[in-house]
Structure formats: C-alpha cells, structure tokens
Amino acid sequence: MLSKRDNEILTRVDASEPLGRFLRRYWIPACVSSEIAEPGGKPVRVGLLGEKLVAFRSPDGTPGLIKEFCPHRGASLVYARNEPGGLRCLYHGWKMAADGAVVETPAEPANSKITRNLCHGNYPVREAGGVLWTYMGPRELEPPFPDFPWTHLPPEQLLVVKMYQDCNFLQGLEGDLDPAHPNYLHRDFSDEAKQRSWTGAGWQSISDLMFDGAPVIHCEETPHLMRVGAVRKTADPAQSYVRLTEWVAPFYTHIATGPHESALFKAWLPIDNERCFTFYIHYDPLKPINVSAIYENWGHYTEGPDFRTPHTLENMHLQDRVKMATINFSGVDGAAVQDRAVQESMGPIYDRTQEHLGTSDKAVIFYRRLVLRKIAEMDEGKPLPATDPGLDFSQRAASVFMPSDMSWRDARQWQEKVERERPLPDPVETSDAGAPR
Ligand code: FES
Ligand SMILES: [Fe+2]
C-alpha cells in the first residue's frame, strides 16, 4: 500500500504538484491530428494536465495550442473565428495568435496600450504519426522530441485510437504494469484456434499465457524508465513463455505482442486528476494492419469530440451475465473495455492506503518507487529518464516461447530470431474497406 501523501504525489497532475511538474518535462500528445484536420476549421477543446486549452489549425495549415479562455473577459475560444493569423474571440473581436500574442483588440482605441505586456498562454506543438504533440514545461528544459519509429509509418500501417476513461490515469497505467491480470480479466472461453484467427490484431498471443496464471515477474530500470518481464511455465519444462514490456517516461509503454503481430504502443494522458484519455497506437513496421480485427478484439472504437465508447460505469460497461457463463471471464466485450471497467470501478482516484499488494504486483511497486525517486531527483536538478539526446526510441516489446534457461532480458532478441526463422502467416483477409480509422 501507499501512504496518503505518496498516493497524492503519484496521481495529481496540476502544474503546482510534483507529478504535474514531472509530466511537464516531456513531449506529450495533446490531441489527434484528425480533430483539427481542416485548415481554418473548428477549434477543439483540449483538457490536459488539469489545464483548459484549445487546439486549432490556421487557414495556412499551421497548428496551434493556446489557453482556452480569452484574456479580455474570458469567453471560450472554442467558439472563436479561425482566421489567418489567429483565433478571433466572438465577444469583442480580440485576436490571439498561435504563439500566444494578442495581435488585435478592435474595440479599444487605436493608441491603446492594453496588450503591451499581455501574452495569452500558448504551448509549442509538433505533429508526428497522426498526433499533435506539445511540451508544457519550462522552455529552457525542453527535452529532445521522442522520435518513436511508428510516427514515420504510412497510414495503412498505423491506427491511432483515443479513448476516454473516467478515472485518474494511474489506475489505467497500473493495469499495463500488471502481467498477471490477463489470465483472469481477459480470459476468453473460445478455443485457441479462434483466438489465433485474430492474426494481425496484436492479440492472438493472449492464448499463450493462459497455461500459467501466476507468472514470475522481473523489473529493471532503463535509461527510458523501466522494463518488465513476466515468465510463465508451459507444458514443456524446457520452454518458458516470456512477455516483455518496455516503459518510456513519463507514461508510455510498449505492450507485449508476439512474432509477426501488430505492435501496440500506449500513452496515458491525464485530462485532470480524475479523467484521462488512453491513446492506443497500433502499428506494424512491415505490413498493413487489420483495422477491423483490432477494433473487434479491443472494443475501443470511438469518435470525437468525446471519444467515449457506449460502456460506462452507469451501465456497468454493458456486462452480460450470460456471456460470463459461456463466452468470457468478464462478461464485458473487448480487452480495452475490460481494462477500463475494472479501472473505472475503483472510483475517480483510488485510495491506495487501502490496498493489499502481493507478489503479482511487483512491477506496480517498482514503478511507484522509481517515479517517486525520479521526482525527487528532478527537484535536485538531476537528468530525467528518456531525456538524454543520445537515446533512441526504437524499443520493442516481446511475447515469445523461449528456452527456460535463457534470461527474460533476451526475449526481444529471441522473438526476432523466431521471426527470421518462421515465415509470416498467410495474409489476413481484410474487410477494411470503409472501416473507421
Ligand atoms: S471576451 Fe474575448 S474579446 Fe472580450
Ligand atoms: Fe488488460
């Protein structure tokens, strides 16, 4: 369990809080580029780390991210006219540029000095991989942009899904730090052949872990943040099944997926202390991904502006007790919704003074201690993980059977050997024409 103070430190995201300052030392997603696809189109509301912002694309195509409320008397700039050179507030016509400058105040006298020392807040943005990224920290401490290889893939090899979640981001993130839960929460009663028919969805390897529901968990710190290995027994004592997950500060993870599967990168974006968005980035560096299968398996199809699925706490995530007897362990459809159901069920911010952690929570404990230490080091002026300009960001997770006498740390290399030695599965029949992306 955590002390009340440590629970607060690890969950509170406002700029005045320790974690809020830590998160602001990184480039993070602000929204998906498709939300502001049209030059000169509608601005969109962006809630990020407890701040209210507005993203927009100027008529010349340049994206911007500025504070939501007009510096004059506070009208929301989500309503603004999107004009060349900035957003023009509807109320009295003030115009704010993407760099935060107040460039016109037409209701004021021509010689007015009202804007002389006035800067409307803005944050720098970059676009990569269908995502609008921002950096909200001190300008002098801006880290290198994290050059994740998936940001360079063509559209048919990449699917960016944004899903709203009704709880503090740490509840979601700790689910991804928890290698034991899939044996229970994600158990599917259908046969292995059906699960394997989901090739390309980054999910057929779920069937591989069901043999052993109490994996041995290993953790180690890395220059990016941390690495988690979960080693399971198999029917053959000479073989282990190893799942390897890589973590990149402040809240990114490469989820374990197997040989030739599409990969999954996730980001846990706090809107504020009690709400978050998950970004599921599905990608395949070598071939097109199967969009329909991904949506079917994960159940996370959403659309803007709210990016919610129909599953909520109020309707108990559409849990079906008949399905629980026959179809799957949870009675909830879709792995992403199964995760969200249990994480939202814990309340807006779980009181971790009440928990009882066990051996299976080793990675959760490791992460908490590590991030608390990194926050303390930040305050001592020490360098933070994943900010060294020499780092590369081409980590890869793994989900693979390997000889029991090998180290879990070699899982990625072993998986790449398996991929070289075994041909790709037959191409999947895709029925993606018109499928939502
Ligand atoms: S409130 Fe925006 S111009 Fe007056
Ligand atoms: Fe899960």
User: For 245-311, what is the HEC assignment?
Assistant: EEEECCCEEEECCCCCCCEEEEEEEEEECCEEEEEEEEECCCCCCCHHHHHHHHCCCCCCCCCCCCC
Residue nearest to atom 1 of ligand 1 (CA): 73
pLDDT for residue 424? 72
Please give the average per-residue pLDDT across 115-134, as a whole number.
94
**From the alpha carbon of 93, which atom of ligand 1 is closest?**
3
Please give the average per-residue pLDDT across 44-70, as a whole number.
98
Q: Is 4 inside any structural domain?
A: no
Examine the pLDDT at 430 and tell me if it is beyond 50.
Answer: no
Give the domain range for residue 224. 149-421
pLDDT for residue 201? 54
Percent of the chain predicted with pLDDT > 90: 84
Question: 205 pLDDT band (50/70/90 cuts)?
Answer: low
Average pLDDT, the chain: 93
Question: 194 pLDDT band (50/70/90 cuts)?
Answer: low
Quick: pLDDT tens for 249-273. Answer: 999 999 999 888 899 999 999 999 9
Tokens of residue 296, six digits:
């079917």
Examine the pLDDT at 125 and tell me if it is beyond 60.
Answer: yes
Domain boundary among 141, 172, 197: 141
**From the alpha carbon of 75, which atom of ligand 1 is closest?**
1
The CATH number that applies at residue 237 is 3.90.380.10
Examine the pLDDT at 385 and tell me if it is beyond 90.
Answer: yes
Q: Is 428 inside any structural domain?
A: no
**Centroid of ligand 2 to alpha carbon of 96 (angstroms):** 43
**From the alpha carbon of 71, which atom of ligand 1 is closest?**
2
**From the alpha carbon of 105, which atom of ligand 1 is closest?**
3
CB-based contact 275:166 (threshold 8 Å): yes
Nearest to 48 by CA among 128, 135, 172, 151: 135
Nearest to 403 by CA among 258, 238, 212: 238
Q: Same domain, yes or no, for 101 and 77?
A: yes
Domain boundary among 105, 121, 141: 141
Q: Same domain, yes or no, for 281 and 180?
A: yes
pLDDT for residue 432? 45
Q: Same domain, yes or no, for 59 and 160?
A: no
pTM above 0.85, yes or no: yes
**From the alpha carbon of 92, which atom of ligand 1 is closest?**
3
Domain boundary among 84, 116, 141: 141
pLDDT for residue 15? 98
Residue nearest to atom 4 of ligand 1 (CA): 92
What is the number of domains present in the chain? 2
| CA-based end-to-end distance of the chain | 40
Q: Which of 70, 77, 96, 103 to mutate to test the pocket of ligand 1 (most atoms within 8 A of CB)?
A: 70
Distance CA 9, CA 348 (A): 15
The CATH number that applies at residue 59 is 2.102.10.10
Please give the average per-residue pLDDT across 86-108, as a whole number.
96
**Centroid of ligand 1 to alpha carbon of 102 (angstroms):** 11
Q: Same domain, yes or no, for 158 and 71?
A: no
Q: Same domain, yes or no, for 234 and 279?
A: yes
Q: Same domain, yes or no, for 130 and 153?
A: no
Percent of the chain predicted with pLDDT > 70: 94
Q: Is 87 inside any structural domain?
A: yes
Q: Is 350 inside any structural domain?
A: yes
Residue nearest to atom 3 of ligand 1 (CA): 92
Examine the pLDDT at 38 and tell me if it is beyond 80.
Answer: yes
Q: Same domain, yes or no, for 134 and 153?
A: no
Examine the pLDDT at 436 and tell me if it is beyond 50.
Answer: no
pLDDT for residue 209? 81
Which residues neighbour ligand 2 (ion) by CB within 5 Å?
339
Examine the pLDDT at 313 and tell me if it is beyond 50.
Answer: yes
Please give the average per-residue pLDDT across 188-199, as a whole number.
62
Distance CA 184, CA 199 (A): 22
**CB under 8 Å to 139, separation ≥6 — which residues?**
none
Please give the average per-residue pLDDT across 295-299, as a whole number.
90
**Centroid of ligand 2 to alpha carbon of 8 (angstroms):** 24
Q: Is 132 inside any structural domain?
A: yes
Query: Pocket residues for ligand 1 (CB within 6 Å)?
Result: 70, 72-75, 89, 91-94
pLDDT for residue 158? 97
Tokens of residue 331, six digits:
């009675």
Examine the pLDDT at 202 and tell me if it is beyond 70.
Answer: no
Q: Which residue is listed with tokens 């179809």?
A: 327
Q: Same domain, yes or no, for 154 and 137?
A: no
**Centroid of ligand 2 to alpha carbon of 177 (angstroms):** 9
Q: Is 20 inside any structural domain?
A: no
Give the number of the ligand closest to the Cα of residue 96.
1
Strand order from edge to edge, sheet including 125-128: 27-32, 131-135, 125-128
Q: Same domain, yes or no, for 273 and 354?
A: yes
Q: What are phi and psi of 141, to 5 degrees?
A: -110, 15
Q: Is 9 inside any structural domain?
A: no
Distance CA 124, CA 132 (A): 10
Quick: pLDDT tens for 317-340. Answer: 999 999 999 889 999 999 999 999
Q: Same domain, yes or no, for 238 and 357?
A: yes
Residue type at 131 in one-letter notation: V
Q: Is 396 inside any structural domain?
A: yes
Examine the pLDDT at 433 and tell me if it is beyond 50.
Answer: no
Distance CA 3, CA 390 (A): 36
- Among 233-237, 389-393, 419-423, the minimum mean pLDDT is found in 419-423
Q: Same domain, yes or no, for 123 and 168?
A: no
pLDDT for residue 190? 74
Q: Same domain, yes or no, for 328 and 229?
A: yes
